Amino acid sequence: MKFLTDEKLVIVGAGGMIGSNMVQSALMLGLTPNICLYDIFEPGVHGVYEEMCHCAFPGANLSYTVDPEVAFTGAKYIISSGGAPRKDGMTREDLLVGNCKIAAEFGDNIKKYCPDVKHVVVIFNPADVTALTALIHSGLKPNQLTSLAALDSTRLQEALAAEFGVQQDKVVGAHTYGGHGEQMAVFASKVTVDGKTLAELGMSAERLAEIRKITTQGGSNIIKLRGRSSFQSPAYQAVKMIEGAMGGEPFTLPAGCYVNCDKCGYKNVMMAMPTVIDETGVHFTAPEGTAEEMAGLQASYEHLQAMRDEIINLGIIPAVADWATENPNL
């Protein structure tokens, strides 16, 4: 089996549903044979390891551990789903404090055991703030750490495809930016469906507002339908993000990235932007949209600022002015 690289990939939270799907997706896509499965729950991660071995992927060199030093030492790529999952009736923000404490420890482990890691993807919620916490504690450069945001855009794409009865990839330009949560900003003004704009297709403002609501509640709907939070779609998209960072197909769906941009007007947050992830890291540009879309993005940004300030007040991360003492790259 041909692999993209032979460098070590660590899957954090590998004993869970997202983590186990990430392991399988990484092997099926041929990213690297050297994958370490890490989790704090030994029976779970041991069981996933056994199942992956039973798949008998040619050339795979799998290992598992509950020891962070063993897991992180020598890692060049990491994907972490190592937080608590969302349950029915919960928002992503309900997970803020507990998962940000986990993210702080995760960042500390990166700094301690694998400061030479090339790229890290954080996907446990609220992903924008857990990723920011991990970035501050890890000491990494901003272009080396990203968070999952693509699902919001693919949910918008799916909703529009269903609306017009077309294959999903016929919907182009359906993106969401800002926070990965119900405060996301939905950008649909540049969407085309099989080459036609929404205006040409006669979509009313009222129906578009309903589509926006369907999109923002897409994660909650999965919980209602399946009785648990999404795991296949975040696992696949996260692995595709790390594939881009490994030098494979660049990842062009929106990703959460560190933004401190005077020109954009967004400062000291992780948020979804128009991005590309490639072997040099993540690169973003400023979103363009209607006045309504840009106002929605501003509101999402302010919500992210409020969550950031909450974990500053709790002492999980330092005050913004002191970030450089924890991470000189910020």
Domains of the chain: 9-148 (3.40.50.720)
* Residue 26: its H or E element: helix 17-28
The residue type at 227:
G
Distance between CA atoms of residues 279 and 289, nearest Å: 29
pLDDT of residue 223: 84
User: pLDDT digit of tens for each residue in the chain (330 aa)?
Assistant: 899 999 999 999 999 999 999 999 999 999 999 999 999 999 999 999 999 999 999 999 999 999 999 999 999 999 999 876 656 665 545 778 889 999 999 999 999 999 999 999 999 989 999 999 999 999 999 999 999 999 999 999 999 999 999 999 999 999 999 998 778 899 999 999 999 999 999 999 999 999 999 998 887 888 888 888 789 999 999 999 999 999 999 999 999 999 999 999 999 999 999 999 999 999 999 999 999 999 999 999 999 999 999 999 999 999 999 999 999 999
Chain-centroid distance of CA 249 in Å reads 17
Q: CB-based contacts of 88: which residues, under 8 Å, 6+ apart? A: 223, 224, 227
pLDDT of residue 103: 96
pLDDT of residue 180: 82
Chain-centroid distance of CA 204 in Å reads 32
Q: How many angstroms separate the first and last alpha carbons of the chain?
A: 40
Q: Write b or e for each residue in 219-250: b if 16 or more Cβ atoms lie within 10 A of its Cβ, otherwise e.
A: bbebbeeeeebbbebbbbbbbbbbbbbbebee
- Check: CB of residue 146 under 8 Å from CB of residue 122: yes
Distance between CA atoms of residues 186 and 56, nearest Å: 42
